[in-house]
Amino acid sequence: MIIQLEKDITDIQRATLEAKLQSVSYQTTEVATQFSEYIIGVGKKEFDIRAIGTMPGIRDIHRVSDAYKLVSKKWKVEDTQIDLGDGIKIGGGSFAMMAGPCSIESEEQIESTIAHLVKNNVRIMRGGVYKPRSSPYSFRGLGIDGLKLWYKKASEAGIKIITEVMMTEQIDDMIEYIDVFQVGARNSQNFNLLDALGKVDKPVMLKRGISGTIDELLQSAEYIFSNGNEKIMLCERGIRTYENSYRNCMDLNAIAMLKEKSHLPVIADPSHGIGVRRFVERIALASVMAGADGVIFEVHECPEKAFSDGQQTLSYEEAETLFDRLRKTFEFRENL
């Protein structure tokens, strides 16, 4: 059960309400976000919601049978829109395109990518400065100095940036230099990291785990929300299956279902979702038709020379075509 509180609820009203819930053996959790305050009650079903629905200080109240609560569409019917400022919005009818290299490599690369995005009127740049790598002997990214340089160049050009945060200790260092935190697939159930990202006021894009279920993804989002941060996007990036002719199996079923289960924006990552450059476009466009609110993909001036192997990275020319087709496909979908 979710109870949204009035802004002017008194301490006594709040205490009465919690006592009432606890008297029927409900466990309560207080949630205070950027936008509102809630009490989450978890307990037996037989409770009659009307017994508290008329108590003072309550703005809204609903039963939510899902294991996740605040991120469920059973709680909030209208789609969430995330506002990055400067007119850049994600979800709720605004289609988001995010592109950039796998890793931030150099000042020259940053400038070149920004110029490419500006030319194509794309406003969000992706890139890694902390890279999760299977092997400890691999390059792990330029770190905080790379981030500062990148952020400076991007904000001068009116570009927002999204980058992966891998541990709670990085949050404070990074927060001034990012627009969206990304949680990678390997950290999709790093609950301490999710807790910590719930305590800051920056948007978070949460990737589905390598073999995460749809419900686990939503419960991970619930961690962030219930710690105080409502600005969450979900990202489908392909799952691990037995098939090995591609890197991951892009799960478009999940995109369609997430749009029904949750009010949060859903972003498709076709680069990781198939992992083969020449198929990225088809999967990107298919994702739009499946309901995605945005697409994030890898682009590099010279894919062959990109850190990592660049197998899933588009060239500027390919990206230019894709930006154009994504816009057309989104428009086509909205008018269908």
Of residues 192-211, those binding a copy of itself (CB under 8 A): 192-193, 195, 209-211
Q: Contacts from 172-178 at CB under 8 Å and sequence distance 24+? A: 173/144, 174/144, 174/147, 175/200, 175/202, 176/151, 177/144, 177/147, 177/148, 177/150, 177/151, 178/147, 178/151, 178/202
Residue 245 neighbours by CB under 8 Å, 6+ apart: none
Contact region with a copy of itself (CB under 8 A), list: 6-14, 90-98, 114-122, 248-256: 248-256
Total chain residues near a copy of itself (CB under 8 A): 76
232 makes contact with a copy of itself (CB under 8 A): no
Q: Looking at beta carbons only, is 113 or 248 nearer to a copy of itself?
A: 248
Residue 207 neighbours by CB under 8 Å, 6+ apart: 182, 183, 184, 185, 188, 235, 237, 269
| Closest approach of a copy of itself to the CB of residue 300, in Å | 21
**Residue bearing tokens 């739009």:** 288
| Closest approach of a copy of itself to the CB of residue 113, in Å | 25
Using CA atoms, how far apart are residues 267 and 98, in angstroms rounded to an integer? 9
228 makes contact with a copy of itself (CB under 8 A): no
Question: In this structure, what token pair is assigned to residue 45?
Answer: 């079903």
Q: Looking at beta carbons only, is 84 or 288 nearer to a copy of itself?
A: 288
Contact region with a copy of itself (CB under 8 A), list: 13-21, 103-111, 147-155, 246-254: 246-254
| Closest approach of a copy of itself to the CB of residue 76, in Å | 17
> Are 174 and 181 contacting, i.e. CB atoms less than 8 angstroms apart?
yes
Site residues (CB under 8 A) for a copy of itself, limited to 108-167:
132-137, 166-167
Q: Looking at beta carbons only, is 114 or 239 nearer to a copy of itself?
A: 239
Sign of torsion over alpha carbons 27, 189, 90, 284? negative
Q: Looking at 12, 15, 19, 42, which residue binds a copy of itself (CB under 8 A)?
A: 42
Q: Looking at 1, 40, 97, 129, which residue binds a copy of itself (CB under 8 A)?
A: 40
N-term to C-term CA, the chain: 36
The burial of 296, by beta-carbon neighbours within 10 Å (0-12 exposed, 13-18 middle, 19 or more buried), is given as buried
Site residues (CB under 8 A) for a copy of itself, limited to 62-81:
67-69
Q: Looking at beta carbons only, is 58 or 256 nearer to a copy of itself?
A: 256
89 makes contact with a copy of itself (CB under 8 A): no
Q: Looking at 20, 62, 186, 202, which residue binds a copy of itself (CB under 8 A)?
A: 186
